[in-house]
C-alpha cells in the first residue's frame, strides 16, 4: 500500500499545471519583444557561461524567472533542429519516400519540445516533497540543456562542411557531458536534496 501511495500520480494537479503552463506560454509568446528579449537572453547566457551551476540553481530555486529567455532558447533549439532536418532531407531525401521526408522534418521540429517537456513532466510527477511549478521545471531543464542547443548548431555546421567533425567532435562530446552534469545538479536543486541533507544534519546535532 505504501508503494502504491508513493508512486501514485496526482492527475488533477498534472492537468492544472499543464493548463497553467500552456496559458503562461501563450501569454509570454504574445508579450515577447524579440529584439529586447534576445539581448536579455544573450546577457543571461554570458553570465551563465561564467557560472553555469549558479545560473541553473537560481532558476530551479525560483530566485530568478527566466521563462521569456527560455522561450528564446527553445526557439533557437527548434530552429537548429528543424534546419538540420530540412538540410538532411535536401541532401539525402532522394533515398526516401515523401512521407519519410515529411516525418523527418516534423520530428526535427518536435524533438526539442519533447527533449525538455518529457523529463519536466517526470520531475513534476515524482517531486512530491519539494513542489515546483511546471514552468520552473521546464525553465531549469531548458537552461541546463543550453550545451545541447549549441551542439545542434554544431551539427548544422557538420552537415554543411564535410570533414569538420574532426574538430567539432571533441567539442560536441564535451558539451554533452556538461549538459548531463548541469541537468544532474538542476534535478538536485529541483528536488531540494541539499536542503534535505542540511535538515537531517541539524536534527542529528540537536539529538
In the predicted structure, residue 2 carries a pLDDT above the cut 50: no
pTM for this one? 0.81
Sign of CA dihedral 164, 73, 46, 135: negative
pLDDT at 97: 82
Q: How far is CA 103 from the centre of its chain?
A: 23
pLDDT at 100: 87
pLDDT at 153: 96
Average pLDDT over residues 177-193: 92
Considering only CA atoms, which of 186, 196, 193 is closest in space to residue 55?
Answer: 186
In the predicted structure, residue 50 carries a pLDDT above the cut 60: yes
In the predicted structure, residue 115 carries a pLDDT above the cut 90: yes
158-171 per-residue burial string, b: 16 or more CB within 10 A, e: under 16: bbeeeeebeebeee
Residue 131: phi, psi to the nearest 5?
A: -55, 130
Q: How far, CA to CA in Å, does 159 sit from each of 15, 66, 105, 156, 190? A: 40, 32, 15, 5, 36
Answer whether 157's CB lies under 8 Å from 164's CB. Answer: yes
As a whole-number percent, the residues of the chain with pLDDT over 90 amount to 55
Amino acid at each position: 500500500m505504501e508503494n502504491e501511495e508513493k508512486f501514485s500520480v496526482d492527475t488533477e494537479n498534472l492537468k492544472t499545471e499543464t493548463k497553467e503552463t500552456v496559458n503562461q506560454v501563450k501569454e509570454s509568446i504574445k508579450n515577447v519583444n524579440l529584439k529586447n528579449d534576445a539581448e536579455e537572453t544573450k546577457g543571461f547566457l554570458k553570465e551563465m557561461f561564467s557560472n553555469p551551476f549558479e545560473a541553473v540553481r537560481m532558476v530551479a530555486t525560483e530566485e530568478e524567472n527566466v521563462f521569456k529567455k527560455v522561450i528564446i532558447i527553445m526557439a533557437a533549439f527548434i530552429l537548429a533542429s528543424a534546419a538540420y532536418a530540412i538540410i538532411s532531407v535536401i541532401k539525402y531525401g532522394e533515398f526516401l519516400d515523401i512521407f519519410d521526408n515529411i516525418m523527418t522534418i516534423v520530428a526535427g521540429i518536435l524533438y526539442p519540445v519533447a527533449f525538455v517537456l518529457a523529463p519536466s513532466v517526470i520531475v513534476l510527477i515524482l517531486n512530491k516533497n519539494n513542489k515546483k511549478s511546471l514552468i520552473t521545471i521546464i525553465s531549469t531543464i531548458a537552461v541546463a540543456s543550453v550545451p545541447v542547443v549549441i551542439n545542434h548548431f554544431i551539427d548544422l555546421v557538420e552537415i554543411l562542411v564535410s570533414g569538420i567533425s574532426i574538430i567539432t567532435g571533441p567539442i560536441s562530446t564535451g558539451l554533452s557531458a556538461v549538459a548531463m552534469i548541469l541537468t544532474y545538479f538542476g534535478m538536485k536543486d529541483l528536488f531540494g536534496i541539499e536542503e534535505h541533507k542540511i535538515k537531517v544534519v541539524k536534527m542529528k546535532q540537536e539529538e
